């Protein structure tokens, strides 16, 4: 696996995780401004519920998915893996990465189709006589799932080349199977 692919994967997942973290900060500020304005001046920020639920929460929930997967922080069940041979563990890893890649590919395709349909129709919601465009938020999911697909494919390639896919989390491209020419 070329080192630039590993670095690119790491940078993309880090960048989306930062955007997700910024979503937490934006949600915090937005909700606090809404509460203060509503309590002090009886003037709520229009569409706060819609923006929080359609934008911030989606960003927070999905943009860090690939980052967590790359770092090996997804849920794992390793009850019997210690009893298995290294070859069988690697074979199971390959199967898991293939299954994850297939699932993320389906999710990417499905959510992309849904996002495009919402883009074409200009989906919006009304809140206090304010039209809030929500179609852009539908693109968060296919972007997040596509990056998770990339992480699964990179981990699969690293595993097949004899490298350690968990090395993707700590910045050691050589440990992840970088082959020098």
Per-position pLDDT tens, the chain of length 181? 678 888 899 999 999 999 999 999 999 999 999 999 999 999 988 889 999 999 999 999 999 999 999 988 777 777 777 787 888 889 999 999 999 999 999 999 999 999 999 999 998 888 878 888 889 999 999 999 999 999 999 999 999 988 888 777 765 544 444 433 3
Residue 132 neighbours by CB under 8 Å, 6+ apart: 47, 50, 51, 54, 124, 125, 126
- The domain ranges of the chain are 3-169
Beta bridge partners of 127: 130
Quick one: three-class SS letters along the chain? CCHHHHHHHHHHHHHHHHHHHHHHHHHHHHHHHHHHHHHHHCCCCCCHHHHHHHHHHHHHHHCCHHHHHHCCCCCCCCCCHHHCCHHHHHHHHHHHHHHHHHHHHHHHHHHHHHHHHHHHHCCEEEECCEEEECHHHHHHHHHHHHHHHHHHHHHHHHHHCCCCHHHHHCCCCCCCCCCCC
The reported pLDDT for the residue numbered 86 is 85
Query: From residue 147, how far is each of 69, 90, 161 by CA, in Å?
Result: 10, 23, 21
CB 63 within 8 A of CB 27: no
Query: From residue 76, how far is each of 73, 87, 163 by CA, in Å?
Result: 8, 18, 19
Rounded Cα distance, 34 and 49, in Å:
10
The reported pLDDT for the residue numbered 22 is 96
């Amino acid at each position: 696996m070329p080192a630039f692919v590993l670095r690119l994967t790491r940078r993309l997942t880090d960048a989306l995780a930062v955007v997700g973290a910024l979503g937490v900060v934006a949600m915090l500020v937005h909700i606090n401004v809404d509460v203060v304005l509503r309590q002090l001046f009886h003037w709520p920020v229009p569409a706060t519920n819609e923006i929080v639920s359609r934008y911030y929460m989606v960003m927070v929930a999905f943009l860090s998915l690939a980052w967590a997967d790359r770092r090996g922080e997804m849920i794992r069940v390793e009850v019997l893996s210690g009893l298995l041979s290294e070859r069988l563990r690697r074979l199971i890893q390959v199967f898991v990465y293939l299954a994850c890649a297939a699932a993320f590919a389906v999710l990417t395709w499905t959510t992309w189709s849904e996002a495009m349909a919402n883009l074409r129709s200009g989906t919006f919601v009304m809140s206090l006589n304010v039209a809030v465009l929500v179609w852009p938020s539908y693109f968060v999911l296919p972007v997040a799932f596509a990056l998770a697909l990339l992480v699964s494919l990179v981990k699969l390639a690293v595993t097949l080349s004899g490298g350690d896919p968990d090395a993707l989390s700590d910045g050691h491209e050589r440990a992840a199977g970088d082959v020098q020419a």
